[in-house]
Amino acid sequence: MRLYSLRASLDNTDFPRRARQQNMGQQANTALPDGFQIEGYTIIRQISIGGFSIVYLAKDPSGQNVALKEYLPNSLALRRRGEITPIIKPEYQDSFRYGLKCFFEEGRALARLSHPNVVRVFNFFRANETVYMVMQYEQGRTLQEFIKKHKGHISERFLRGIFVRLLNGLRVVHSNKLLHLDLKPSNIYLRQDNTPVLIDFGAVRQVLHTDSPVLKPMYTPGFASPEHYGDRKNFGPWSDIYSIGASLYTCLAGSPPPPADERQTRDTMQLAAKRWEGKHSEHFLNAIDDCLKLNHLLRPQSAYSLQKMLAESTELSDISVPPEKSVWDGKRLELGQKFEKILKRIKSPTP
């Protein structure tokens, strides 16, 4: 089974190597102005800006709030204040178009997923010499923000509930032959009712080795599995499981465990079962330690396996993988076909 990875951070600043080799410095891109209208959507305000994209809060034609994500890598394109269309020098066109294609690959993957614990893609379009993705707008805060506020005082019951539900979404991701590979508290959003959702699925991160695009996943030290530092052939659902374990560890410690590559050389990480002995159940702490095994064969091998460990004897009938029809329904199919058409245009030379 072939698995594809999604880089899930809006703040990615690693871009095609070709652009870096040409010494193009990081540029300060200007967001589109509040009130700007584009393809029927009205921008209300900027939500976030990173090295890869800008995200806006916007209103759709029906007046509903949506998140509008604009592809605008600041190492390849520059939009000055007062301008709408970014400036892309001829020598960066190939890299820009390649990244644009990756952006749509992300959208095509997300368009296949329809699950309450995974951010939804509603639409996508080309405009202003770039591309836009329309996603469901969620209100709440990230798990990282929650950890900072409640450091050391998050109950086991709360964490079990959050992560058992979060794993619902991850199971759907994996069942669609996708890997996340950058799971961490800042990429886990808690709605106002505390239900979790995987957000910020960034475009598939690519770097250019010589002249050929080669997939290379983004990772965050402390949350990245040992496989991130070695041969990618060992990537699998267990790689995301390591990141889940690191996220749980962070919820208790307030900071992530040591990076996996350092642990492989000299493991100084204190086991959860020892560090929090008597403060949380042995079963729960052992589950965290199992996720953080350096040998991927010793970890839970699937999101479902970890769910069973976290839920203990709790009834699991509500966390079964959705049937194929609900994962790839008619609307999702329509979006996927739309992606295919736009991707063909992206791959074709500019007239």
Give the whole-angstrom CA distance, residue 67 versus residue 43: 9
The residue with tokens 């530092």 is 229
- Tell me the whole-structure pTM to 2 decimals: 0.76
Q: In this model, does residue 316 exceed pLDDT 50?
A: no
- Sign of the four-CA dihedral 220, 159, 165, 235: positive
Q: Do 80 and 152 belong to one domain?
A: no
Q: Do 79 and 192 belong to one domain?
A: no
Q: In this model, does residue 247 exceed pLDDT 90?
A: yes
Provide the pLDDT for residue 151. Answer: 81
Q: In this model, does residue 267 exceed pLDDT 90?
A: yes
Q: Do 131 and 245 belong to one domain?
A: no
DSSP state of 72: -
Residue 332 lies in a domain: no
Residue 44 lies in a domain: yes
Here the CATH number for the domain that contains residue 49 is 3.30.200.20
Q: In this model, does residue 26 exceed pLDDT 70?
A: no
Which range of residues forms the domain containing residue 173? 140-198+219-319
- Reported confidence tier of residue 89, pLDDT bands at 50, 70, 90: confident
Give the whole-angstrom CA distance, residue 108 versus residue 348: 18
Provide the pLDDT for residue 340. Answer: 60
Residue 70 lies in a domain: yes
Percent of the chain with pLDDT over 90: 55
Query: What is the overall mean pLDDT for the chain?
Result: 81
Provide the pLDDT for residue 101. Answer: 84
Query: At 28, phi and psi to the nearest 5?
Result: -95, 105
Q: Do 117 and 19 belong to one domain?
A: yes
Q: Do 120 and 155 belong to one domain?
A: no
Tens of pLDDT, residue by residue over 280-315, are: 999 999 999 999 999 999 999 999 999 999 987 444
Number of domains in the chain: 2
Percent of the chain with pLDDT over 70: 76
Q: Do 178 and 311 belong to one domain?
A: yes
| Strand residue runs (E) in the chain | 4-5, 37-38, 41-49, 53-59, 65-71, 121-127, 130-136, 140-142, 178-179, 188-191, 196-198, 206-209, 212-215
Q: Which two tokens stand for residue 333?
A: 């199919």
Mean pLDDT value of segment 111-122? 89
Q: Do 133 and 188 belong to one domain?
A: no
Q: Do 243 and 152 belong to one domain?
A: yes
Q: Between these two residues, 325 and 107, which has the higher pLDDT value?
A: 107
Contact yes or no for 103/119 (Cβ under 8 A) = no
Q: Do 42 and 97 belong to one domain?
A: yes
Residue 180 lies in a domain: yes
Q: Do 182 and 299 belong to one domain?
A: yes
Q: Do 116 and 106 belong to one domain?
A: yes
Here the CATH number for the domain that contains residue 292 is 1.10.510.10
Domain boundary among 105, 120, 138: 138
Q: In this model, does residue 271 exceed pLDDT 50?
A: yes
Residue 89 lies in a domain: yes
Q: Between these two residues, 315 and 137, which has the higher pLDDT value?
A: 137
Provide the pLDDT for residue 347. Answer: 57
Q: Do 147 and 295 belong to one domain?
A: yes
